Chain A
Amino acid sequence: MDVKRQVTIERVSPAVAGNGTPVEKAVDPDLGTAVIPVERYISHEFMKLEWEHVWTKVWLLGGRSDDIPEPGDYICTDIGKESVLIVRQHDGSVKAFYNVCLHRGNRLRPEGIGKGAENFRCMYHHWTYGLDGAIEHIPDLSSFPQGCPPAGRIQPLPAGEWGSFVWFSLNPDVEPLADYLHPVNSHLSPYHFERMRLVRDITVEWNCNWKASVDAFNESYHVQGIHPQLMWYLDDVNLQIDCYGRHNRYLIPFGTISPRKDLPSQIPPPIQFMMQKAGMDPADWDGPMTGIRKAIQRHMRQFGHKKGRDYSELNDDQLTDDYHYMIFPNVTLNTHADDLMLFRQRPHPEDPDKMLYDIWVFELPDAETEDPNAEYRRPKHQHFKYGDKSIGLVLDQDAFNLPNVQKGMHSSGFPGLWLGEQELRIRHFHKVIDDYLAAGGVQ
C-alpha cells in the first residue's frame, strides 16, 4: 500500500460489542480475480436480464414509514418501467400495488407522497379504488357487458416495513422481508433510524449505469484519487470489509488521518468540526493527533445525553466511524450514531447509461441546540439533472467522475473491471447478481 505511516486502528472487540452491531470480521469469500465484463454496465441485453432476474425478484426500498403515518397516506415511487403505490391501511399496515388503472392503463398517481387519501380515483374515467386496492366504483358499470375486471382490484405487491422504511417487491413469491434483509437488519437496528428525521431529500439524474454508482460507494480506494480532503479525517486504508449473503459492509474509521498523509501539526478542519459536533473544543486538545478518534468517542459517550441522545446500544467505534452498509441491490447506507446518509440508486427504464440517484439524509434532533417544541418541517423533494446544482463537495466529486466512467466503459479498449482486494464489495455485488441470474436459469 502506498502509505506514509503505519497506522494501527484501535477497534472495539467483539466481546465489548456484545449484542449490538457485530464487529467480527467476516471470512472473505473467495471470489477470484476475474475481469467483470463491461457489458454488464452498458448493454441493453444485460439490462433486460437484470430487470427480469434481479429487480423483479428482490425487495426494494420504497420510502420512509413516517412519511405515511395515517391511513390513506401513500408513497408513489418509480422503479425502472414500473410505478408502485404504497398505502397506509386503516389497520396501520402498508399495502403496495402497481400504480396503474385496470381500465386503460393510466397511472393512478404521480410520483411523490400524498396524505389522507380516501380512495384512488383515476383521472381519466374516474375508476375508483379503495385504500386496499379493491375497485370501489366504475362509472357506468352497466356499459361493460363483461363486468369489472375479474380480480376486482389493482394488482397487489408484497409490502413491508423495517427500520422505519417501507419496502416492496415486484416478486409475488418473494421471501419474507426480514429473511431477505438478514443479517443487516439486526446489524442496523441499534441505530434506531426511527429517531432520526429526514433533512435532505434529493433525486439527481446521473449519466451512468446504476451499478457504477453503487460501486463508487463500495470502495474507499478512490478516496486518494478524487476525494483528497477525506484523507484528513478518515482512514481509507485500515478498513474492515465484510460480505454477508447478498449484502455487505465496510467499517471506516473517522476522526483520524489517512496513513497516506504525514501527520500535520494542526488538527485538520474536518476533524475539528467532528470534535465541535460532539461538543468538544478542539482548542482543548493537547494530545497526539492519533488519539482524537477515541477521545471523541469518550466524550460522546459521556455527554451525549445532553443532546438527548441515547447511544446505549452502539459500541464506541459507532460513535465516530462510518459503518457503511449496502443492501442489495441498490441501497447504500452511511451509518453514523447521529445521522444516516442513504443513497438509493435506481435504473433508468430503458437506458443503461442513465440512472436516478436518490439522496436521503436523516439526523437525530439535538436537544441542546434545537427547540424541542419547534415543529419539524420535512424538506421538500428536489429533483434535478447532474450539474444543475451542487449536492456537496464529496458527492459532487463522485458525480463529476461517473459520467466519464460510463463513457469510458463504451470504449473498445476496455474489456471490463480489473478489481483489487480493496474492491471486494464490488466483486461480491456482481457475485450476488450472478446468483440471481443463475436462479433464473441464466448462466
Chain B
Amino acid sequence: MRLRIALQKRFEGFDLEADFSTSSARLGIFGPSGSGKSTLVGLLAGLEEPDAGLIELDGEPLYCSKRRISVPSEKRRISVVFQHAHLFPHMSARRNLLYGYRRTPAAARRIDPADLVGVLELEPLLGRDVTTLSGGERQRVALGRAVLASPRLLLMDEPLSALDEGLKYQIIPYLRAVFERFGIPLVFISHSMNEMRLMSDEVIVLRRGRVAARTTPEELARSSMGRSRAGYTNLLKASEPQAGDGAFLYRWGQNRLITSDGGTTPEALFELSSREIMLFKRHPEAISARNLFGCRIVELFDLDGRVGVELECGGERLVVQVVKEAATELGLQPGGEVHAAIKASSLRKVY
C-alpha cells in the first residue's frame, strides 16, 4: 500500500493539517482525543470533504482539490470499522456481514465469506438478531462486514475502545488473524499505546491536528516510558501452555515462563511493567519470584533521571527500568550479564 496524504480542514476552534506518505501495510495513527484522528478517518473514507489537499492511494487520487477530484465514499473501497459496531439493527448478523460483499463487483471480490466466517468464528452468530449480540460479538461482525467488502484499505477508528478491558484484547487475535490471512492494508487509529504496538508497524503521532512525529510503535513506547506511571509495558508472546500446580508453564523464546494467570489457547500474550522486574548481578541462591532469566545487556538509555535497560534473554527482549544508583551499583554496561527475576503474578495475561 502506498498512501499519500496532504490535507487541510478547518473547523471552528480546530484545524487539521496532515501531511505524510507511507508504504507501511499496518499504519498506526496515535494521539489523544481531540487530536484530529477521527477527522482524518472521515476525510480518508470520504465521509467528510477536506478544504484543500490531496489523498492518493496506490497512485490513484481519491481527492485532489487542484484537479477537482473527489471520489465518493461508496466508490473508494475503503472500509471503516468504527468505535461502536454500528451494525444495521434491522438485519441479521448474516445480512450485515454480506452487506458490503453484495455491493462489491464480482471481479473485485477477493474474500470468500465462508473463509472469513471461519477466521472470525462467526458461524454460531450468523442467524442471530444483531441486537442480541454482546459488544465483542458485534465488533467481530462489524470487522467481518468491513473485510468482506474486499477493501483496498481498512480503517479502524478506535475499534476496541468501547469494549470492556477484558473483551478488548480478545478481539486482537481476530484482528491479527484477519490481517495475516487476507493481507488487507490497515490504518489503525487509537490512543492506546498497547494497541499501537500490537496492530501497527509505523506510527503517525497526531497532536492538535498536526503530525507531531513519525515513529515506530517500539520507539513510541520507549519515548513515553519515563513519563508514564506504569513505565514501559513489555509484551511477552508465549506459547505451548501447560497447567501446573496452581500455575501455568509457557514457552517464551528459549525460556520457560511461569505465570499465575493462563489458559489453554496455544498462544498467549502477557503484559509486564518495566518496573516489576528485579535485576541481580549474580545468580541468587533462592528467591520467591518464579522466573529467573540469565540476560545480556543490549543497551542502556536515559529516562528522566532513571535508567532504562534493554535485555536480551533467550532470544527475547525485555525492557527494565532502574534508578541511577542501582545501575551504578550493579555495574550495568552494554554486553554485561545480569539475572532478571519476575514474579509469576506480575505477568498479566492480555489474551
Asked whether A and B interact, the reply is: no
Interface on B for A, CB 8 Å cutoff? none
Interface on A for B, CB 8 Å cutoff? none
